[in-house]
A and B are shown apart, each in its own frame.
Chain A
Amino acid sequence: MSNTPHPVTVPPNGLMATPDVAGFDLLRQVRKTPTVLYGIFTELVQQFYMNADNLAIGVPQKVFSPDKDKTKIWIDTELRWNDEHPEFKPAIYIKLSPITYSSLTGRTDAVAGGQLSTGEEDFSRSGTGTVSFVHLAGSSGEACMLGDATLDYLDAFGKVIRNDFCFTSFSLTGRTPLQELPKESKERYGSVVDCTFVFQDRWTIKLESQRLKLKSIVMRAGHRILERGIIQ
């Protein structure tokens, strides 16, 4: 999975001691911006289709390879292809619906609590969205079978995906068996698997003077998104 830790280098800056940020280099600890979400879901499907043994008997053996010459299937994010004449193979593209944010406390500024003694304020924001795995193929049967394979995988591993990537929930919510798509050199068909996910972002701001000089913003698990600024 993509959640494999990888080393990061944090230069010492005096504001935050290195131990405070050490170990917070997992993908699941990064704020779930659409860029990160695209990466998570694309990688998930690419990993699944990299091994022909993952596919059920009867499903066409379309194996993904990062090598564009060897891959038998494209797996990419939506609006990603800028080929003027793409080499069409069966394809899966990952599409995100608009993400809806809400506050756990009902406050619009996302404040969830604070510590007066230390000058820290905690914030929390919850996000809900739907990811669609759109399967494109030159025949309706192939699109539908690839969609079924993805559906099996995401449904069976829904809980693992939720835990690994720190979603509040991740579940299968919809399946469009077949749809007709605008034709290219000839007809193409689509088959869609929809999953809904909910995540929660939390961060803390520490105010270090009465003039509201901002020193740092620390995400839930130590992910820093801003350093050294002044709120007017």
Chain B
Amino acid sequence: MTTPIKRFTVIPDYTAGANFVWGVSGSLADPAPWTFQVELAEGPDGPWTAISPVLAFTSVWKDPVVRRAGKDQVFFYRLILTTPVTQYRSPTITPYGELNRREYLLVKDIMRREVLHGRTLMGIKADLWLVSTWGPKCTVCLDPITNMITNTDCPVCRGTGHAVPYNGPYTLWLTTTPSKHVTEMAQDGTGIRQPITQEIRTIGALMAKKNDIIAAHGDTRRYYVDDVESIVELRTIPVVQKATIREAPLTDVAYMVGR
């Protein structure tokens, strides 16, 4: 069977073992609930041992244990997705993912320095909620034929079209550029605007994407992530990322998330 798990990778984490990140094909239409579990084995064919708890719908898991192995020993990981219909397995990956051991440690050190810079100099602590772009569909507001989202204030999907609209929050350190305020005539013919945009920089352990939500600790404002750029990357593994964020209006559903 072809697996719908389209990406399962290990991202170095400077504080713990590793971050496991995955995505599932948007065409998978199995009903909720979906659960995930990360498994480990000492050989590519097993035997497999579950190292994570059964995870409710999410796309990331941080392994709190630093797993040590002998010089020639290699761990293998895989992800199990269980839906009410069946069970799917991801392809097997090695502990350093797409990196070799030296590169893995290098990435880990760059991330550590980046976080240190944020924590001790000019960074702020913030929460990141990842918007769902795949997963079980909303059963309340989607058009049954076209799957169009008919209510942007839907109490279930919050206008995302997915039964679990956001997952998180994940705490991260980020540095920001000064915000830019430009008053201009809106191009849509409605009137005057002063869009507030800022750029943020953070480590790539958890890659942000468009329409994710960011809220700084101690700040009531919430921001939507717009363009995301991986500014340091090693063999396709993001190390440092930069993103443009836009302040959400106070009545936006962004303020309902996590409350």
A residues apposed to B, CB below 8 Å? 58-60, 72, 76, 78-91, 93, 95, 134, 136-142, 144-145, 181-186, 188, 190
Contact = CB atoms under 8 A, between A and B. Distances in A.
B7 interface: no
A124 B190 CA distance: 34
A81 B249 CA distance: 14
Contacts of A184: 193, 195, 246, 249
Interface of B: 141-143, 146, 148-153, 159, 161, 183, 185-196, 211, 223-224, 226, 246-252, 254
Given A60-B150, A142-B149, A85 B247 contact: yes
A136 B143 contact: no
- 7 smallest CB-CB distances across A and B, nearest first, come from A141-B148, A81-B191, A84-B194, A138-B152, A139-B149, A87-B251, A60-B151
A46 to B, nearest CB: 16
21 contacts: A76-B190, A82-B192, A83-B192, A85-B196, A89-B251, A138-B159, A139-B148, A139-B152, A139-B159, A140-B148, A141-B149, A141-B150, A142-B150, A145-B150, A184-B195, A185-B223, A185-B224, A185-B246, A185-B248, A186-B211, A186-B224
B190 A78 contact: yes
Give the interface SS of chain B, mostly helix, strand, loop or mixed.
Answer: loop
Contacts of B224: 185-186
B152 A86 contact: no
Give the interface SS of chain A, mostly helix, strand, loop or mixed.
Answer: loop
B133 to A, nearest CB: 13
B211 A85 contact: no
Contacts of B191: 79-83, 86
Contacts of B211: 186
Contact of B189 (A95, A141, A183, A188): A95
Contact of B192 (A84, A91, A145, A190): A84
Contacts of B188: 134, 136, 181-182, 188, 190
B240 to A, nearest CB: 24
Contacts of A144: 148
A86 B150 contact: no
Contacts of B226: 183, 186
A135 to B, nearest CB: 11
Contacts of B143: 141
A85 B194 contact: yes
